[in-house]
Amino acid sequence: MLKTILSISGKPGLYKLISQGKNMLIVESLIDKRRVPAYGNEKIISLGDIAMYTDAEDIPLSKVLDSMKQKENGQAASLDPKKASQEALHAYLAEVLPDYDRDRVHTSDIKKLIAWYNLLVKSRLTDFAEAETEAETEAAETETKTEENNAE
């Protein structure tokens, strides 16, 4: 699911990929449901490609969002990212992701993470881990079929 949710630099909120055209994508805002084109010269990132820095290895955003979902029981975040202090934001992330890299994860990153989580919950797009598991299962099945075909 996160592969089709996009962040577009310079535009507020998140966008759902609707269609692909020549040199552009058609996306739908999760905020107001308006469809707009997104062009190749804009910095477009899929949430499925984002990871959070930790002291050991980078953790996929889907796992961080799933951890937030468990902490909040599927509801919007209890912390308002616009009004919370820097210390409160870092304490919140420490509860969700205890070993996050405190040097490389900035306060603005935590605010964006909470805002994105709240927007996804409001849009009822909360199957973070399930979608990843399905994609991994499909990839494993495809790989197995390819290996079987190659063996024949």
Rounded distance between C-alpha atoms, residue 32 and residue 117, angstroms: 16
Q: How many CB atoms lie within 10 A of CB 100?
A: 20
pLDDT in tens, 95-149: 999 999 999 999 999 999 999 999 999 998 888 765 444 444 444 443 433 344 4
Rounded distance between C-alpha atoms, residue 42 and residue 44, angstroms: 6
Pick the CATH number of 2-47 from 3.40.50.20, 3.10.129.10, 2.30.30.730, 3.40.50.2020: 2.30.30.730
List where CATH 2.30.30.730 sits in the chain. Answer: 2-47
Look up the pTM and report it: 0.79
Helix or strand (DSSP H, E) at 16: strand 15-21
pLDDT given at position 140:
42
Q: Write down the CATH number for the domain with range 50-131.
A: 1.10.10.1650
